């Protein structure tokens, strides 16, 4: 039995996710829920034969008997207001906002750790793009004193939510580099670039390598992880081969003799958003990956 | 405008300890900070800015790690400030609103919130935080050559609506001609209810003349750094700006001779290189590339055996903005690969 799903939020992310979910065998999309009856997303949902109510999260709660799982693409504020009610109604929530109420999941690192959780948080686009790399470097060495990521996204792909609370992005991402990536200290940076035509999403990961690290093993591990991510985000790739540069570098985690530099690019699948919006694509692709894994886990456990 | 009882024609903000930090790869120590703040303050400089070169929280792999924690240095600066106000700069996306709270407690009275010249709406959270903390808040639009006068007005009005007390435009690439400056300042002064400032760089040898032109068009704040210490070919040198202003009969409230002493006796001895307009510096201004890329590009060029000039020109073609220092490594690796293929 596929899981019956609703997407809440008919903006860019919600609409892009809709097209991805329409192709899924495990997830049966029932509705795209919005608040603006005239939104482009809801019009497209109606065209696909889906329910397209504009009464927001309340619609989901009223129809909770028919819904197993929701994907929240609204805002942290809305998610915080409703997340308990989703859980009380027995609905699993995959949270694409930065609300961070449930455990954070980065598919190639900890997908199977939280499949039973009533609420799963998808971190940030930059977190989805860079935490796998930090984890890949960490697993190849003794310990990782400090990791840093720089995300550059096109101005056009950065919505008002990100712009009004950019600190939330950097803080949440930085936390993921430590808690999931395994770095002892971390920093996250985001830059908006207004160039025309819009640039593809770029991410750079820097990692401090302690004395005695096996550089070959670090680079091999990075390559393997890029392949892992590319399985569910086809436009995820290395822009240049990863390199190890000589320091020393006086990091917040102590002085290290070398650093690894991983230069990544994410091209979107172009389901709804233009291909430059790899930052939005990686979020919807990761949320799909989590949703399908939850559905498979539920299928294995007879209710 | 009145400062310390004397009327001045524009307010001088010295950024030797913030923008100047790029030129010494963020290696200031406490003794240097104390000497510079004492010198500037006794010369009558109204505002002294200090932070990592890329603003609060800038210490990183991407921009270079600070030798001494910036908050320790800021605390020292506040202790030595005398009648001067201590300012910090913060770039949203790099530093956090929480950083403003920390430095306000140390005694910092002004926060300059800097964004790329088309992205003012990411500054709302930080401008409002600064105001809530009772700091003077300045909206600081970087790489102002990349936006039109009308576009800058639109962005500046956003910052004004968030509560900014003043707006700055920064010629971060030192790429503007005097005409470019006049048109922008003129449009902004006409549209804003709050004062305007200009931050100039010297890559095209225009920093002082552009600053004076900005004053003539109505700018009420001007930036400089001692001995021009700063990113690229350097900033508008504070002591030269003060000297030229005096010759024009513009009242600055600062003592040019004392500023010359600071530049000569305190700052020049710690400069690893003099601020000259060499090929790389000129290319920054000519191609419109963010000034702080200069030394990073030099290191990447040496590491990967490619040309620094080629790196800078390619960054200009890619329309890279301030903060994208990681793209320097990206471009250097691509150039190295291209050269390797050509040799085959």
- Is A125 a residue of the active site? yes
- How confident is the model over B179-200, as a mean pLDDT? 98
Q: Tell me the torsion sign for CA atoms B8, B11, B15, B17.
A: positive
List chain A residues with CB under 8 Å of B61: 148, 206, 208, 249, 251, 259
Distance CA B239, CA A212 (A): 50
More confident residue, A6 or A99: A6
More confident residue, B232 or B6: B232
pLDDT computed for residue A51 by the predictor: 96
- B219 within domain boundaries: yes
Q: Quick one: B6 exposed, middle or buried, by C-beta within 10 A (0-12, 13-18, 19+)?
A: exposed
CA distances from A186 to A94, A178, A254 (A): 26, 6, 12
Catalytic pick among B22, B52, B145, B296: B22
- How confident is the model over B102-126, as a mean pLDDT? 98
The phi, psi pair for A119, rounded to 5°, reads -145, 125
Is there a single domain that holds both residue B65 and residue B150? yes
- B321 within domain boundaries: yes
Catalytic pick among A69, A105, A125, A277: A125
B330 vs A193: CB contact, 8 Å cut-off?
no
- How confident is the model over A4-27, as a mean pLDDT? 96
Residue B303: closest C-alpha in chain A:
A245
A187 vs B60: CB contact, 8 Å cut-off?
yes
- B276 within domain boundaries: no
More confident residue, A204 or A162: A204
pLDDT computed for residue B158 by the predictor: 98
At A162, the pLDDT band (50, 70, 90 cuts) reads confident
Is there a single domain that holds both residue B26 and residue B162? yes
pLDDT computed for residue A2 by the predictor: 87
pLDDT computed for residue B3 by the predictor: 47
Is there a single domain that holds both residue B13 and residue B72? yes
pLDDT at A302 over 70: no
Is there a single domain that holds both residue B215 and residue B306? no
At B143, the pLDDT band (50, 70, 90 cuts) reads very high
Contact indicator for B92, B54 with CB cutoff of 8 Å? no
Which candidate, B319, B289, B61, places its Cα nearest to that of B308?
A: B289
- How confident is the model over A110-117, as a mean pLDDT? 96
pLDDT at B108 over 90: yes
Distance from the Cα of B177 to chain A's closest Cα (Å) equals: 22
- B317 within domain boundaries: yes
pLDDT computed for residue B234 by the predictor: 96
- How confident is the model over B35-43, as a mean pLDDT? 98
Does B53 contact chain A (CB < 8 Å)?
no
Is there a single domain that holds both residue B334 and residue B206? no
Total domains present in chain B: 2
Distance from the Cα of A230 to chain B's closest Cα (Å) equals: 21
Is there a single domain that holds both residue B178 and residue B263? yes
CA B216 to chain centre: 21
- B315 within domain boundaries: yes
At B60, the pLDDT band (50, 70, 90 cuts) reads very high
> What is the Rg, in whole angstroms, of the alpha carbon atoms belonging to chain A?
19
Strand residue runs (E) in B24-92 = 47-50, 85-90
pLDDT computed for residue B58 by the predictor: 98
pLDDT computed for residue B2 by the predictor: 45
- B302 within domain boundaries: yes
pLDDT at B36 over 60: yes
- How confident is the model over B220-232, as a mean pLDDT? 97
A240 vs B321: CB contact, 8 Å cut-off?
no
Instruction: Kindly list the structural domains of chain A, giving each domain's residue range(s) and its CATH number in brackets, ordered by start.
Output: 3-101 (3.40.50.720), 125-276 (3.30.360.10)
> Other CB atoms closer than 10 Å to residue B144's CB: what's the count?
30
CA distances from A283 to A279, A287, A297 (A): 7, 6, 21
Is there a single domain that holds both residue B238 and residue B163? yes
- How confident is the model over A194-207, as a mean pLDDT? 96
Distance CA A73, CA A15 (A): 9
Is there a single domain that holds both residue B96 and residue B35? yes
CATH code (residue B328): 1.10.8.60
- Structure confidence by residue, pLDDT tens digits, A255-284: 999 999 999 999 999 999 899 999 999 999
Q: Going by DSSP bridges, is the β-strand pair A254-266/A243-251 parallel, antiparallel, or unpaired? A: antiparallel
Contact indicator for B153, B188 with CB cutoff of 8 Å? yes
pLDDT computed for residue B292 by the predictor: 93
The parent domain of residue B338 ranges over 292-343
Q: Going by DSSP bridges, is the β-strand pair A92-95/A27-33 parallel, antiparallel, or unpaired? A: unpaired
Is there a single domain that holds both residue B234 and residue B158? yes
Is there a single domain that holds both residue B28 and residue B172? yes
Interface residues from chain A to B (CB-CB < 8 Å): 148, 150, 152, 155, 160, 163-167, 170-171, 187, 189-195, 199, 202, 204, 206, 208, 239-241, 243, 245, 249-252, 259, 261, 263
* DSSP annotation of B226: G
pLDDT computed for residue A174 by the predictor: 97
Distance from the Cα of A94 to chain B's closest Cα (Å) equals: 26
pLDDT computed for residue B337 by the predictor: 94
pLDDT computed for residue A160 by the predictor: 81
- Kind and range of the H or E run holding B16: strand B11-17
List chain B residues with CB under 8 Å of A263: 326, 329-330, 333
- B151 within domain boundaries: yes
pLDDT at A303 over 60: no
Is there a single domain that holds both residue B256 and residue B112? yes
The mean of the pLDDT values for chain A is 95
- Structure confidence by residue, pLDDT tens digits, A205-241: 999 999 999 999 999 999 999 999 999 999 999 999 9
The mean of the pLDDT values for chain B is 96
Is there a single domain that holds both residue B92 and residue B28? yes
Distance CA A207, CA A261 (A): 7
CATH code (residue B198): 3.20.20.70
């Amino acid at each position: 039995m596929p899981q019956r799903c609703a997407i809440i939020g008919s903006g860019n992310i919600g609409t892009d996710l809709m097209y991805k979910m329409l192709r899924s065998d495990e997830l049966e999309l029932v509705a795209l829920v919005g608040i603006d009856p005239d939104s482009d997303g809801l019009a497209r949902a109606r065209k696909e034969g889906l329910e397209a109510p504009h009464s927001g999260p309340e619609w989901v709660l009223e129809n909770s008997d028919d819904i197993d799982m929701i994907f929240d693409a609204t805002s942290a504020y809305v998610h915080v207001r409703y997340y308990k009610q989703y859980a009380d109604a027995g609905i699993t929530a995959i949270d694409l906002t930065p609300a961070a109420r449930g455990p954070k999941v980065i598919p190639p690192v900890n997908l199977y750790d939280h499949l039973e959780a009533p609420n799963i948080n998808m971190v940030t686009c930059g977190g989805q793009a860079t935490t796998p790399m930090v984890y890949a470097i960490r697993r190849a060495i003794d310990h990782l004193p400090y990791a840093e990521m720089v995300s550059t996204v096109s101005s056009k792909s950065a919505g008002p939510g990100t712009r009004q609370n950019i600190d939330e992005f950097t803080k949440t991402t930085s936390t993921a580099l430590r808690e999931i990536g395994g770095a002892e200290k971390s920093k996250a940076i985001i830059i908006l670039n207004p160039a025309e035509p819009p640039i593809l999403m770029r991410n750079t990961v820097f990692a401090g390598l302690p004395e005695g690290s096996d550089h070959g093993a670090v680079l091999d591990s990075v390559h393997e992880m890029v392949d892992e991510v590319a399985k569910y985000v086809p436009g995820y790739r290395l822009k240049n081969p990863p390199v190890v540069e000589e320091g020393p570098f006086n990091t917040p985690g102590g002085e290290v003799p070398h650093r690894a530099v991983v230069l990544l690019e994410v091209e979107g699948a172009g389901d709804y958003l233009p291909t430059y919006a790899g930052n939005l694509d990686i979020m919807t692709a990761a949320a799909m990956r989590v949703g399908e894994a939850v559905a498979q886990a539920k299928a294995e456990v007879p209710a | 405008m009145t400062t310390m009882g004397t009327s001045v024609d524009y307010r001088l903000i010295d950024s030797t300890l913030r923008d100047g930090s790029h030129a010494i790869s963020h290696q200031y120590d406490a003794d240097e900070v104390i000497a510079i703040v004492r010198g500037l303050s006794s010369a009558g400089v109204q505002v002294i800015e200090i932070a990592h070169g890329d603003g609060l929280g800038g210490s990183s792999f991407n921009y270079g790690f600070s030798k001494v924690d910036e908050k320790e240095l800021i605390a020292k600066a506040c202790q030595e400030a005398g009648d001067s106000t201590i300012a910090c700069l913060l770039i949203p996306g790099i530093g956090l609103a929480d950083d403003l709270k920390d430095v306000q407690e140390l005694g910092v009275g002004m926060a300059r919130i800097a964004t790329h010249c088309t992205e003012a709406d990411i500054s709302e959270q930080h401008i409002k935080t600064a105001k809530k903390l009772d700091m003077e808040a300045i909206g600081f639009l970087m790489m102002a050559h990349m936006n039109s006068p009308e576009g800058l007005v639109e962005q500046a009005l956003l910052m004004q609506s968030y509560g900014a007390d003043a707006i700055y435009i920064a010629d971060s690439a030192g790429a503007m001609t005097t005409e470019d400056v006049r048109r922008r300042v003129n449009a902004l002064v006409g549209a804003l209810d709050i004062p305007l400032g200009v931050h100039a760089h010297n890559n095209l040898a225009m920093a002082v003349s552009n600053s004076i032109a900005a004053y003539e068009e109505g700018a009420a704040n001007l930036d400089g750094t001692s001995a021009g210490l700063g990113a690229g070919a350097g900033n508008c040198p504070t002591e030269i700006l003060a000297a030229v202003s005096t010759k024009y009969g513009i009242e600055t409230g600062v003592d040019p001779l004392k500023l010359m002493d600071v530049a000569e006796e305190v700052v020049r001895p710690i400069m690893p290189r003099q601020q000259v307009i060499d090929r790389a510096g000129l290319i920054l201004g000519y191609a419109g590339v963010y000034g702080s890329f200069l030394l990073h590009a030099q290191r990447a060029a040496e590491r990967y055996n490619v040309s620094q000039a080629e790196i800078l020109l390619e960054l200009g073609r890619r329309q890279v903005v301030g903060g994208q220092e990681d793209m320097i490594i990206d471009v250097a690796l691509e150039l190295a690969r291209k050269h390797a293929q050509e040799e085959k």
